[in-house]
């Protein structure tokens, strides 16, 4: 089982026929292998993630067109002395974004603990639509402000909700609540302590409800999160502009930790505007820098490959392939026997081939052999 970058690095050592790296010292070990492998590890990891659409790295994010009221995420640098709440978004020293997955999250280094996972959500935050006419997607971010220079950011937890984020749901004895859901009863905020919490009055059920609330005040379909925002001036690519303009294309910021596009519907083909019996229409998405330019006025639900660093979540075939890829890169430095280089190439090709066979690598839909024009004529 691969659990750390050093595990992958040591597979490279085995391919090269050199001594493995000490698992405790890792890439800080004073050895040629640790120095060379540590230098190329992240570079080749990102290259391999971009080279193929690996299923374990696929994520989805709902992106809304940028307008004059759109704010941008500005996460603070992670600090070992700060206690983070569940859902907090931070940045590490490499600019990688992480989201907290634990309460009272103190001194747990992102990337080296289960208390954090890679954040692959939107980088833009829109003001909540107070008319209640907008249905939000899970993972979307909105902000509310009382107009005094402060703001609160909320993450949508369930697709389709239009509930007001900061209005806590009133307790209902006929509703089954899950652990950590928030309600109000007699103007007091309570947090459920257990799953399947049904017909337990908060004020008289101290083992089922608590007034200690680490989540902030929010509707059950929203999570208040700790993250900084900034109002950045947007230099719109030619032909695009704020979504409130009706004569320009819209601009959508790519999500956090984006690496490459994935097939948007891997179970269906695509067809041209001539038409065909089935499939998807080609999209007008134009990738420009960190943005998508499109005519669509609706949110884009983007399926993409994210920059994943947590080895414990990686496909074993990816780890095998990455180990062989690293061995190819450092083989000359580690003075491996010439005969072994052929073995390294075979190991790399085998790992990638087997990953495709077991759908570890997604290849997308297969286009029909016949021409669209012929299909339409028939």
pLDDT digits (tens, 9 = 90+) for 79-109: 999 999 889 999 999 889 999 988 889 999 9
The residue behind tokens 């704020």 is 242
Calpha distance 263→364 (Å, rounded)? 6
Give percent of the chain with pLDDT exceeding 70: 90
Residue 369 has pLDDT above 80, yes or no: no
Residue 134 has pLDDT above 80, yes or no: yes
Q: Kindly report the length of the chain.
A: 378
Calpha distance 336→5 (Å, rounded)? 21
**Where do the structural domains in the chain lie, given as residue ranges?**
5-54+309-362
Q: Which residues of 297-336 are buried (b: 16+ CB within 10 A; e: fewer)?
A: eebbebbbbbbbbbbeebbebbbbbbbbbbbbbbbebbeb
pTM confidence score: 0.84
Instruction: Dump pLDDT digits (tens) for 9-62.
Output: 999 999 888 899 999 999 999 999 999 999 999 999 999 999 999 999 999 999
Which residues is 192 bridged to in the sheet? Answer: 209
Instruction: Dump pLDDT digits (tens) for 158-172.
Output: 999 888 888 888 899
Q: Which residues of 217-247 are buried (b: 16+ CB within 10 A; e: fewer)?
A: ebbbbbbbbbbebeeeebebeeebbbbeeee
In the numeric block, which tokens belong to residue 286? 């134009």
- Give me the pLDDT at residue 364, please: 65
Q: Which range scores top for mean pLDDT: 182-196, 203-217, 361-375?
A: 182-196
């Amino acid at each position: 089982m691969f659990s750390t970058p050093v595990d992958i690095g040591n597979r490279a050592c085995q391919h090269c026929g050199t001594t493995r790296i000490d698992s405790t010292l890792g890439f800080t070990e004073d050895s040629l292998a640790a120095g060379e492998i540590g230098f190329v590890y992240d570079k080749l990891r990102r290259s391999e993630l971009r080279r193929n659409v690996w299923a374990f790295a696929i994520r989805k994010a709902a992106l809304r067109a940028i307008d004059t009221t759109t704010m941008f995420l500005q996460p603070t640098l992670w600090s070992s002395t700060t206690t983070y709440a569940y859902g907090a978004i931070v940045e590490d020293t490499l600019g990688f974004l992480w989201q907290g997955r634990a309460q009272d999250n103190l001194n747990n280094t992102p990337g080296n603990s289960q208390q954090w996972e890679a954040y692959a959500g939107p980088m833009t935050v829109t003001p909540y639509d107070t008319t209640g006419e907008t249905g939000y997607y899970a993972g979307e971010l909105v902000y509310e402000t009382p107009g005094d220079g402060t703001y609160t950011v909320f993450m949508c937890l369930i697709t389709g909700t239009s509930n007001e984020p900061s209005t806590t749901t009133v307790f209902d004895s006929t509703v089954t609540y899950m652990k950590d859901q928030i309600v109000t009863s007699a103007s007091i905020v309570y947090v459920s302590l257990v799953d399947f919490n049904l017909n337990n009055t908060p004020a008289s059920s101290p083992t089922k409800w608590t007034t200690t609330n680490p989540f902030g005040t929010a509707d059950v379909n929203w999570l208040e999160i700790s993250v900084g925002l900034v109002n950045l001036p947007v230099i719109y690519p030619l032909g695009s502009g704020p979504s409130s303009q009706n004569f320009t294309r819209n601009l959508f910021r790519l999500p956090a930790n984006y690496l490459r596009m994935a097939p948007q519907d891997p179970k269906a083909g695509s067809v041209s505007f001539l038409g065909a019996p089935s499939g998807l229409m080609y999209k007008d998405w134009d990738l420009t820098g960190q943005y998508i330019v499109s005519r669509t006025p609706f949110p884009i639900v983007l399926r993409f490959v994210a920059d994943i660093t947590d080895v414990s979540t990686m496909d074993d075939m990816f780890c095998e392939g990455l180990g062989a890829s690293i061995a190819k890169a450092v083989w000359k430095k580690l003075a491996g026997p010439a005969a072994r280089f052929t073995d390294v190439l075979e190991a790399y090709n085998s790992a990638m081939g087997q990953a495709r066979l077991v759908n570890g690598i997604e290849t997308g839909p297969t286009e029909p052999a016949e021409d669209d024009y012929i299909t339409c004529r028939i």
